[in-house]
A and B are shown apart, each in its own frame.
Chain A
Amino acid sequence: MRVNVNAQHCVGAGQCVLIAPEVFDQSDEGTVMVLVETLDDSALTVAREAVIACPSRSISLTEN
């Protein structure tokens, strides 16, 4: 699975970073950055939580 983000949409809440710090980070502007685009099983689990927690719905998961 791949993780996709919409940094324009991002409101900088940082919940993705707290939930899945191995997958997400924040740029200096405060918006989301993806650290690993292709996810293994453990990363996928936390990435799914991040999708749900994201307040601006800026994260999505797609098949490779």
Chain B
Amino acid sequence: METQSGDPISIEFPRRRRGQLSPPDEYASLREQPGPVRSALPGGSTVWLVARHDDVRAVLTDPRISASPLHEGFPTIGRNGTVPPPDQIPGWFVAYDPPEHTRFRKALIPEFTVRRVAELRPAVQRVVDACIDDMLNAGTTADLVSAFALPVPSLIICELLGVPRTDRELFESRTRVLVTLTSTDDERESATQDLLLYISKLITMKQRFPGRDLTSRLLSAGVLTPKEISGVALLLLIAGHETTANNIALGVVMLLLNRQWIGTPGVVEEVLRYLSVADRVALRVAVEDVEIGGQVIKAGEGIVPLGAAANHDHATFERADEFDPSRSARHHVAFGYGVHQCLGQNLVRIEMEAVFTSLFRRIPTLQLDSAVEDLPFKHDGILFGLHALPVRW
């Protein structure tokens, strides 16, 4: 690999995880470089890859580094690597900086406190139990993604937002298009329009017939406008099911390969750290010159903090490449860091706890029905995950 003083390293990016669950092999050498590494993306733009835990956290907390794609130099991965362009969607607050971002964050955090999320445990357990019931009633084999990993978070976010369960197929399928790097621009445009239309109908319905759900509460609170609430609802809908489904599916594989850890504490946190499915989701751009890890990044230069690289940093986590739920993994960045750290993270933890406890307790003979190398990993996605997970019991 070239050193800092040379030309940008031309590495094919994003890197594949070659059929294994740990991060791409190349991340280790990225961490060994003195600081962020200049990289040429396919398509010609260049970005700084940030691999070390301390540097990733510095990027995600520096006010001179923006989350907004409207700034020149914001990275694009693949043809059009982000979900809907933010200027299309008022309320898409993951792409805002303070102070605009702060307004949305403050309006939403009361819904996602530790206490509020804990109140959802019974509802989460009901959904988990029902999905397991259906799997058991259908036979002794299943695709764990479509039968479990996807419906569980999807049904929960439906309940939370007041989205009818019957609409699941619509938003799941359109989301799939948006998070797949190989979708064409037309497909992406069409999926975005479908989702925007769907959400605006949902908002209208909740305005006329308020329910006991987050969407209705946001509307009646009147802090955010209905248009902003549609962007928020769409973001929560997408973020609330896609990433968690990937964590569940891959987490089940991890535990099937490491059965001694089933039912032990620390599993959820270590699965999150080890897998880091949202590795390269937190794209950024410098809006002023800023020094990160001894390297000056100039205004207008794009930055890709690599969460999976940071979470496997040996300087931060002992034996970082080992799956060890007995370690203290609390300071991982699987949910990001800084003001944009995942709003729903505590709900995700509750979902994953329920999933890993109930699934293995009720189906103790659960096993993979495929070799790990043959599993259909999402190499073509913004998020790491599985398209399908054949299992039997």
Contact = CB atoms under 8 A, between A and B. Distances in A.
Nearest to A9: B339
A29 B109 contact: yes
Interface string B99-116: 000000110011011110
A35 to B, nearest CB: 13
Chain B interface, >50% SS class = helix
Contact of B341 (A11, A26, A28, A30): A11
Given A49-B330, A57-B61, A12 B112 contact: yes
A55 B109 contact: no
B330 A30 contact: no
Contacts of A12: 105-106, 109-110, 112-113
Nearest to B330: A53
A26 B114 contact: yes
Contacts of B336: 55
Contacts of A1: none
Interface residues of B, number: 21
Contact of A14 (B114, B330, B331, B338): B114
Interface in B315-347: 328, 330-331, 336-339, 341, 345-346
Interface in B325-374: 328, 330-331, 336-339, 341, 345-346, 349
Interface string B202-233: 00000000000000000000000000000000
A55 B330 contact: no
A12 B17 CA distance: 33
B341 A52 contact: no
Interface size class of A (residues with CB under 8 A): 10 to 19
A5 interface: no
A19 B105 CA distance: 22
Given A19-B330, A49-B330, A14 B339 contact: no
Contacts of B60: 55
Interface of A: 11-15, 17-19, 26, 28-31, 49, 52-53, 55-57
Interface of B: 60-61, 105-106, 109-110, 112-115, 328, 330-331, 336-339, 341, 345-346, 349
Given A11-B105, A14-B112, 20 more contacts: A12-B106, A12-B110, A13-B345, A14-B346, A15-B330, A17-B113, A18-B114, A18-B346, A18-B349, A19-B330, A26-B113, A28-B110, A29-B106, A29-B110, A30-B109, A30-B110, A53-B331, A55-B338, A55-B339, A57-B61
